[in-house]
Structure 1
Amino acid sequence: MKKNVLIIGAGGVARVVAHKCAQNNDVLGEIHIASRTRSKCEEIVASVHDMGNMKQDGVLEAHALDAMDVAATVALIRKTGCQIVINVGTAFLNMSVLSACIEAGVAYIDTAIHEEPNKICETPPWYGNYEWPRKDECARAGVTAILGAGFDPGVVNAFARLAKDDYVDTITDIDIVDINAGNHGKYFSTNFDPEINFREFTGTVYSWQDSQWKENAMFEVGQEFDLPVVGKQKAYMSGHDEVHSLAKNMGSPNVRFWMGFGDHYINVFTVLKNLGLLSEQPVKTAEGLEVVPLKVVKAVLPDPSSLAPNYTGKTCIGDFVKGTKDGKPAEVFIYNVADHKEAYEEVGSQGISYTAGVPPVAAAMLVASGEWDVKTMVNVEELAPKPFLHILNQIGLPTCIRDENGDRPLDFS
């Protein structure tokens, strides 16, 4: 068994991870949280204690760390005795933290694909640009590296694998739909790091269709979905991490990702983009200062973690999987519904952070028990889905199924 967790990052998702690790410290052992700003980590530690979320007495400590510094990260891993690292810092850190985990010989879990600050929407498949070339390195070191273990990517990958295992013999279509039907009350804000959020939507939309990569522009292709709880919602085909691994691993000729957007978000986004304010390339001001427009926009928007107290409504995220079962057409929708207010009451975060932060803790628990300690690099769909979904059901993110037999919770009996 592996014990002791190092959480890298101190944003909204890291807060959820810390609370959930604390709630399960009988399995995970000591909990450490590190970022460049130690005071942010200390605030998270205090919030865990204030909300009474430590399951049993134990270590919960804050540390200062520049996670781009591989040697410093290795030193902290060794100093704390952590055997599992959950990386929920910016996506720019992934390769540095993975390098530290390989050197230290500890398990690595992240929730999003690696990105380079000066590049957007690189050549697909995206995992092939940075992560997958290091799989042999992980295997030689006997290091478990679980990529994209948030909700999307992450839980939706497990949904696709579950559909293939139990509901559809041959898959023809995987359509992942992410709808946030909540309201944060601000004029405009993103639900997680604005820099990463906007980068998802300013480049080419890559989808896997007819067993090849297809390119579209953002907001070019829209569709209405009728979903449980949140009802009819408009969503747009978007580029997203999980499309790139599912296209490789699931054998489906069609894999698409759809995200819900309101007209107001689209209008503001379009103005910002057309003005050049979402560019990742530096520009010079009249005063001779060099600035990155996207970072300026990030600086003036609300911190996503500040949205939590007044957030209302629900999210619905799931997979429509089509194909054949026993030679007949089959379709299943596997999904989760989360509530913003309930997330805030439990861990002090809004629902988007909650859905992203709970799954890597479930993954860490499976690594700790040995069930997912595979000692190589994997995406979530390459692992047994039911143990993962079963833990998520127990710790806050239950799975439901809708098919020809009705709408019901996933049965773990």
Structure 2
Amino acid sequence: MKKNVLIIGAGGVGHVVAHKCAMHNDVLGDICIASRTQKKCDTIIESVLRKNNLKDSSKKLYSRRVDAMDIPSLINLIKETQSEIVINVGQPYINMSVLEACIETGAVYMDTAIHEDPDKVCENPPWYGNYEWKRKQRCEENGITAILGIGFDPGVVNSWCALAKDEYFDTIDTIDILDVNAGSHGRYFATNFDPEINFREFKKVWTWNNRQWMLQKVHSIRVDYDFPVVGTQPVYLTGHDELHSLSKNIDANSVRFWMGFGDHYLNVFSVLSNIGLTSEVPVKIANGVEIAPIKVLKALLPDPASLAPGYTGKTCIGNFIKGTKDNQERSVFIYNICDHAECYEELESQAISYTAGVPPVAAAILVARGDWDVKQMVNVEELPARPFVDLLDQMGLLTEIIESPASFTPPVIESLESV
């Protein structure tokens, strides 16, 4: 049985992971939170104690400072803390260094987003093939459990695809993953997670359509969909992490991702992009210093963790899946509704961080129990779905399913480029 968790990253998702690990520390053991800024870790610990979320007070909850790009330092930290499970919720630039440290120490590795090279944006698909999957053989040879993309999307939505394949369909035609935030944070403009990572997603749209990768313009294809609870919302075809493993591991003709954006968000984003503030390419300012405009923008925008107090409304994330069962056409919508105010009441968090932070803790519990300790690198859809979905139900992320939901019918997608 695995025990002792090292959480790397002290942002909004790390905040949720720490709370939920503390609430299950009778299973997970000691918990260390590590970041370049140790004060952020200590602030999270104060929140856990303030909400009385440390289940077993005999177990340690403490912090350390670490540069997650420094592999020897990570190796030393894993050994010092005797951590057998590492949950990486830092920026995706650090994924490969954290994974390497886990391979070297034998610790379980988990992350919630695909690895990115800071100098490369929206590389050609499949993205996992560029970095993570190149280490599959080493993980298997060393008996390392590495679970990739175990947030919500990617993560829970991947598991829903496996659940659909196992329990609801004989054949799957299309999977459309829909993510909408119908909440309000009261700020003029903000992103719900790291602005730099958020805006890097909006450079190109790679989508898996008719069994091939297709390229589309950002925010160019819109569908208005009548969601449960939150009502009719606009969603736009967007590239996203989970497509890059689902296209390989789930036998479906199309797997697409759609994200909700309001007119105000798109207008502000358009202006920022048109004047160059979302660019990752450094520019030289008057005193000769070079800086990437997106770094300046990140510094100016609200910290996503600061949005939680007073956030109202709900999120809805779901998979609209079409296929056949017993030679009959079938469609289902598998989804979750999450309430911003309820998340704040429980964990002093907002719903975007909550939905991303609860799943890795559920996965850690399954690993600790041995159910998911598979001794190899996997994406979430390759693991048994039912125990994960059932555990999430108990931990605050309820899965609901509608048979024959309101139809989701996107327009014909024609590729600007294919690979």
TM-score interval for Structure 1 and Structure 2 normalised by the shorter chain: over 0.9
- Determine the structure 1 residue equivalent to 2:338: 338
Q: Distance in 1 between matches of 2:5 and 2:397?
A: 21
- Determine the structure 1 residue equivalent to 2:150: 149
Q: Distance in 2 between matches of 1:378 and 1:146?
A: 5
Counterpart amino acid of residue 148 in structure 1: G
Q: Distance in 2 between matches of 1:310 and 1:329?
A: 44
- Determine the structure 1 residue equivalent to 2:35: 35
How far did 1:405 drift?
9.6
Please tell me whether the aligned partners of residues 14 and 89 of structure 2 are also in contact (alpha carbons under 8 angstroms): yes
Aligned length: 405
- Determine the structure 1 residue equivalent to 2:258: 258
- Determine the structure 2 residue equivalent to 1:164: 165
Q: Distance in 2 between matches of 1:39 and 1:391?
A: 32
Please tell me whether the aligned partners of residues 181 and 315 of structure 2 are also in contact (alpha carbons under 8 angstroms): yes
Counterpart amino acid of residue 276 in structure 1: G
Q: Distance in 2 between matches of 1:156 and 1:313?
A: 21
Does residue 107 in structure 1 map to residue 113 in structure 2? no
- Taking the TM superposition and a 5 Å limit, the aligned residue runs for 1:267-306 are 267-306=267-306
- Give every structure 1 segment of 4 or more consecutive aligned residues whose post-TM-superposition deviation is greater than 3 Å: none
Q: Distance in 2 between matches of 1:239 and 1:146?
A: 21
SS at match of 2:63: strand
Counterpart amino acid of residue 33 in structure 1: I
Counterpart amino acid of residue 92 in structure 1: Y
Please tell me whether the aligned partners of residues 95 and 111 of structure 2 are also in contact (alpha carbons under 8 angstroms): yes
How far did 1:286 drift?
2.1
Does residue 379 in structure 1 map to residue 382 in structure 2? no
Q: Distance in 2 between matches of 1:139 and 1:51?
A: 40
Please tell me whether the aligned partners of residues 332 and 405 of structure 2 are also in contact (alpha carbons under 8 angstroms): no
SS at match of 2:242: helix
- Determine the structure 2 residue equivalent to 1:409: none
- Determine the structure 2 residue equivalent to 1:221: 221
- Determine the structure 1 residue equivalent to 2:417: none
- Determine the structure 2 residue equivalent to 1:122: 123
- Determine the structure 1 residue equivalent to 2:77: 76
Q: 1:243-298 CA deviation, whole Å, 9 max, x = no partner?
A: 11100000111000000000000011111111111111111012211111000000
Q: Distance in 2 between matches of 1:165 and 1:225?
A: 26
- Is there any run of 5+ residues in structure 1 with no aligned partner, and where? 407-413
Please tell me whether the aligned partners of residues 70 and 97 of structure 2 are also in contact (alpha carbons under 8 angstroms): yes
Please tell me whether the aligned partners of residues 168 and 331 of structure 1 are also in contact (alpha carbons under 8 angstroms): no
- Is there any run of 5+ residues in structure 2 with no aligned partner, and where? 407-419
Q: Distance in 1 between matches of 2:355 and 2:210?
A: 31
- Determine the structure 2 residue equivalent to 1:197: 198
How far did 1:85 drift?
0.1
Counterpart amino acid of residue 71 in structure 2: V
- Determine the structure 2 residue equivalent to 1:363: 363
SS at match of 1:329: strand
SS at match of 2:308: helix
